[in-house]
């Protein structure tokens, strides 16, 4: 007797988060700074401006990884901006991000629901 059993793949739903947590390295001073950024808020780190557009984490029952879609612009001394990165960063694979800057490195640490920073719409 042959019994066929259909097993569908179970995929966890990503959890949207309003806050992305980044770390940045100033290669000149060697200082690492960790900072929170709200989705759709632009912050400046050195000569780079970061704007996360989406930040997702996984449920506690899944292997943890966070991902962010972020746009990174470089501001020149003449106040012109050039987009140097637009894409996904993954907390578990920081080397995959293609932010190419001679002075600064940035990477995703994680995503979270709340921050000690006041949300932009409440400032």
pLDDT of residue 11: 58
6 occurs within a structural domain? no
Residue 96 in 3-state DSSP? helix
Written as six digits, the tokens of 119 are 């949300």
One digit per residue, pLDDT tens: the chain, 123 residues? 545 454 545 556 899 999 999 999 999 999 999 999 999 999 999 999 999 999 999 988 888 789 999 999 999 999 899 999 999 999 998 888 778 899 999 999 999 999 999 998 898
Domain count, the chain: 1
47 occurs within a structural domain? yes
4 occurs within a structural domain? no
111 occurs within a structural domain? yes
pLDDT of residue 10: 52
122 occurs within a structural domain? no
Written as six digits, the tokens of 46 are 């050195």
- Of 98, 31, 101, give the one whose Cα is nearest residue 70: 98
123 occurs within a structural domain? no
Residue 4 in 3-state DSSP? coil
pTM of the entire predicted model: 0.85
> What domain range is 102 assigned to?
15-117
């Amino acid at each position: 007797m042959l019994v066929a059993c259909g097993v569908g793949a179970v995929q966890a739903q990503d959890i949207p988060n309003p806050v992305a947590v980044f770390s940045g390295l100033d290669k000149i001073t060697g200082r690492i700074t960790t900072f929170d950024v709200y989705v759709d808020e632009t912050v400046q780190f050195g000569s780079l401006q970061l704007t996360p557009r989406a930040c997702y984490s996984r449920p506690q029952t899944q292997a943890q990884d966070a991902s962010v879609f972020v746009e990174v612009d470089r501001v020149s001394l003449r106040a012109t901006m050039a987009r140097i990165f637009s894409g996904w960063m993954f907390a578990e694979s920081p080397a995959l991000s293609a932010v190419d800057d001679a002075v600064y490195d940035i990477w995703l640490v994680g995503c979270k629901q709340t921050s000690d920073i006041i949300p932009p719409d409440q400032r």
